[in-house]
């Protein structure tokens, strides 16, 4: 009886370890695939059509010095709305395809990684895609500052294997536009971070 009980406990333990390993591998693969899909669609559909001057108003005084940098909130709102649509569509298309994990991959061996029965993994988009427009200033040389504007996309997907599933966060940061400012950054500056809640509320309406 003791031997049978130990055997049952061993089977339960091995089964739990296998499930945990399978889910972790599926999570990692799905996260990478999700980031690649998001980056690809944003670079192809959004970034390639945007220039810095399209999304930022740069105001100068009579001497040509920059006195105000201001985001074009209307244009940024359009970009955010389009980004949500494109990313949602990309994740939906991703969910139509499944990928497989060979059981040999659970051994951690490069030799055995491609062998053994293959477990089907399905990805399912869950939750709302959230897009933030952020920016930062970096010193780019003597008397020069780089102004970088970028998108941060937050989404969730679910990886489903037989009798198990797990939600995975997919966070991707993609440069949108940048420029080099010669001279001092003006004291009067409308921070993009201060407008993101307003922009998000518009994008989600």
Going from N- to C-terminal start, the domains of the chain cover: 2-204
pLDDT-derived band at 61 (thresholds 50, 70, 90) equals confident
Q: What is the pLDDT at residue 192?
A: 64
3-state secondary structure at position 137: strand
Asked if residue 35 has pLDDT above 70, the reply is: yes
Q: What is the pLDDT at residue 16?
A: 52
Q: What is the pLDDT at residue 63?
A: 77
What is the per-residue pLDDT across 114-145, written as a single tens digit (0 to 9) for each?
666 777 788 888 878 899 988 888 877 777 88
Q: What is the pLDDT at residue 154?
A: 92
For a pLDDT cut of 90, what percent of the chain falls above it?
18
What is the per-residue pLDDT across 170-196, written as a single tens digit (0 to 9) for each?
999 999 999 888 776 655 455 565 444
How far, CA to CA in Å, does 41 sit from each of 36, 44, 87, 125, 178?
9, 5, 7, 16, 19
Question: Rounded to an integer, what is the distance from CA 155 to the centroid of its chain?
Answer: 7
Q: What is the pTM of this model?
A: 0.72
How far, CA to CA in Å, does 95 sit from each of 23, 82, 100, 169?
17, 20, 13, 15
Q: Which range has the worst mean pLDDT, 17-31, 75-89, 99-113?
A: 99-113
For residues 93 and 80, what is the distance between their CA atoms, to the nearest angstrom? Answer: 20
Are 180 and 144 in contact by the 8 Å Cβ rule? The answer is yes
For residues 138 and 146, what is the distance between their CA atoms, to the nearest angstrom? Answer: 5
Q: What is the mean pLDDT of residues 8-28?
A: 63
Q: What is the pLDDT at residue 200?
A: 39
Are 170 and 35 in contact by the 8 Å Cβ rule? The answer is yes
Q: What are the CB-based long-range contacts (under 8 Å, 24+) for 136-141?
A: 137/181, 137/185, 140/180
Neighbouring C-beta atoms of residue 167, cutoff 10 Å: 12
């Amino acid at each position: 009886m003791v031997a049978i009980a130990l055997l049952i406990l061993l089977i339960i333990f091995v089964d739990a370890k296998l499930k945990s390993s399978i889910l972790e591998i599926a999570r990692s693969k799905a996260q990478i695939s999700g980031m690649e899909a998001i980056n690809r669609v944003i670079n192809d559909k959004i970034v390639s059509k945007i220039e810095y001057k399209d999304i930022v108003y740069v105001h100068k005084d009579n001497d040509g010095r920059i006195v105000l940098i201001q985001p074009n909130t209307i244009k940024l709102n359009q970009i955010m709305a389009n980004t949500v649509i494109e990313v949602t569509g990309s994740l939906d298309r991703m969910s139509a395809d499944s990928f497989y994990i060979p059981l040999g991959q659970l051994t951690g061996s490069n030799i055995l990684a491609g062998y053994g029965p293959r477990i089907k993994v399905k990805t399912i988009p869950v939750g709302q895609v959230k897009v933030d427009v952020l920016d930062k200033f970096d010193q780019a040389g003597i008397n020069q500052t780089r102004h970088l504007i970028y998108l941060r996309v937050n989404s969730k997907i679910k990886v489903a294997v037989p009798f198990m599933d797990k939600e995975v966060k997919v966070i991707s940061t993609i440069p949108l536009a940048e420029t080099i400012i010669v001279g001092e950054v003006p004291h009067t500056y409308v921070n993009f971070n201060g407008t993101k809640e307003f922009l998000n509320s518009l994008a989600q309406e």
